[in-house]
Structure 1
Amino acid sequence: FTTKAAWESIRYFAPEVGWASLVWHPARIPKHAFYLWLSILGALKTRDKLLLSGIVPSAMCSFNCRDNESVEHLFFACSYTHSIWKKVLGMCNINRQSLPWPEEIQWMEEHARGKKFPQILRKLAFGATVYHVWMEQNRRSFKNRFLP
């Protein structure tokens, strides 16, 4: 009897998801990975969810684009976050349009696979962008502070 054997006997094995290596890679920044994970799961408490809970009076996007905020909107359908993501893609030498959120995740899964510098940079840039967009959204929503 070993601790490992006991753990293996009670452990639940879920099928691995395609985006796992996009989030949980060795070079990850833990807080970026955590928020990227929540965003991929659709678990971020965006304004559409907060409105349903009665926490906020409106689901309008914090970036003043006149659309309701959801995970799909925030990453990167919103005109403000779309322009940020477009610049980040350019800095990573990726010349393409921003995609709808599920397709963006899939594209990153396919094009950020591996351990070479460009792939690691893409993973880090994706996580950092999601994290900083989320932090800015929270600053605007709950602290009434704005970054340029």
Structure 2
Amino acid sequence: MDIKTIEEIVKLFNKEGLTKLKIQGEDGSIHIEKNNTVSSANEPAASPEQSGTEKSSNLLEITAEQVGTFYTNKEEGSDETFVSVGDTVSKGDTVGLIEAMKVFNEITTEHEGTIEEILVEHGDVVEYGQVIMTVKPEEG
């Protein structure tokens, strides 16, 4: 299953408002659930170069650059988050952290616009290439 096919399946999954989908075929399998976890038996997730692709709804995607635990809060025990829905972001802004093997890595955006949706919760495990947020681009 090539990455384009996987991307089309994910778009259709979101468009139709499904909560769970599992496809098995000769060339691999894919399992998607509403918590936006995507797994494939023999294909890697989208590469970082593909992380800025536009969705059909004109939203831009911020994706996980590695596997790990995603954190929305700036500090442990704090309620202060990096970004919230409705916040304006600029290229290079930190939108969260991913912890892997006790190393915290900043997740930054390559987009300018407004955070439209945050698709993962504080403390969720994310997959490489998984969409974690969507950004509505600035008009102009």
TM-score (normalizing by structure 1): 0.24
Bigger radius of gyration among the two = 1
Tell me the TM-score normalised to structure 2 length.
0.25
Question: Higher helix share goes to which structure?
Answer: 1
